[in-house]
Structure 1
């Protein structure tokens, strides 16, 4: 298994003020969800501590928490490894995402005004530009921002909280398929914006369901290729 192997300068050193344990946890979680630390990668405490500019103790505590939450696997006599989701785990998570996102699209269509439509349109334009420029990392970031905005416009705080938990895990799955989905994903975003602007709740629901199902199928097709 490869060790941490992060490029020099890829990870900013953490500022000392504040709850250091929490900041180390958030930094490592961000590296995992963005796939800077890839599934199956060996996590060496001393290397991570060096990258983050901290001692090994908060890194050890963060890894233990990440293990409890299913992001990291702690193996006796072997160390810590980024969790590799099984096909079943990924399928269950992406299925739940479809349910949450479809309801968010319906509510957004019922509640969104002109300002919200403008914000979605701006995010979509930036996403299309990122696709044209081949910036996969930015595509993933903007895709997450677009879906988060739809969730915000839905106006349901409980739904948004649940979706936020799911989205963080889904983000690491979206990265490998972003290039494959490419322009088509943003074409579907455009169709969703149109449905929301027309206050067509049923159409918005159907578009979002099909959109998230496309991502799920692409993810599994990638495993078979």
Structure 2
């Protein structure tokens, strides 16, 4: 009975450690190329090292950390190859998604435009507050909502897989050059206008330019 009780208590603590560290990685709080450690994280969270070690192993399997015995964990930087691969995949997915979004039935089209407008306003608020991590999450969601509006479940799942990489790349970009945020927000407004005007050709051109801006900031 004692072993079962310990297991029940350990699982949520491990999951908590995993989620906290992963969020710090995706938000850019843990910068690529920097080192962290089980002791550092366990002290911050007020837990033992064991659940942190298990969380680190999961994150290493996801390619976000590289573990070095007795030295700690290296935050794996976003490589140029990974960035190019993600942006190329996004261009293919989001070009199709944008075209589909411009062709939605009136009610669905109106809901999407309203949602994207709300997200854009939230992005502008995050910029004013200097909340770059919050902005990065809102940026990723803006693009994800366009993909999900198309109703293609295969593309939706594929895009979710790209979303975390996208968020990490954006966080990296704006952390090193906060002025990039203004360029990205302007790009989102232009994409929203193209969807609202039901102009697929404009959206295709603008998403290419937007992703080129993202590449230039990496």
1:92 to 85, 106, 110: 85
User: Structure 2: which 5+ residue stretches go unaligned?
Assistant: 1-8
Structure 1 length-normalised TM? 0.80
Higher helix share: 2
2:44 matches 1:51: yes
2:180–2:217 CA contact under 8 A, matched in 1: yes
Shift in Å at residue 128 of structure 1? Answer: 2.7
Contact 1:99 1:209 in 2 (8 A): no
What TM-score do you get using the length of structure 2 for normalisation? 0.82
Residue segments in structure 1 that go unaligned for 5+ positions in a row:
1-15, 220-225
* Pairs aligned (count): 204
Residues 117 and 193 in structure 1, CA contact (< 8 A), matched pair in contact too: yes
Is 2:71 aligned against 1:71? no
Distance 1:26 1:133 in 2: 24
Shift of 1:28: 1.2
Determine helix, strand or coil for the equivalent of 1:113: helix
Q: Distance in 1 between matches of 2:130 and 2:37?
A: 32
8 Å contact from structure 1 (residues 123, 146) kept in 2: yes
Cα–Cα, structure 1 residues 132 and 56, in superposed 2: closer, same or farther, change >3 Å? closer
RMSD (Å), alpha carbons: 2.2
Contact 1:98/1:213, CA 8 A, preserved across alignment = no
Q: Is the aligned partner of 1:106 residue 2:99?
A: yes
Q: Secondary structure at the match of 2:183?
A: helix
Partner residue of 1:128 out of 124, 127, 132: 124
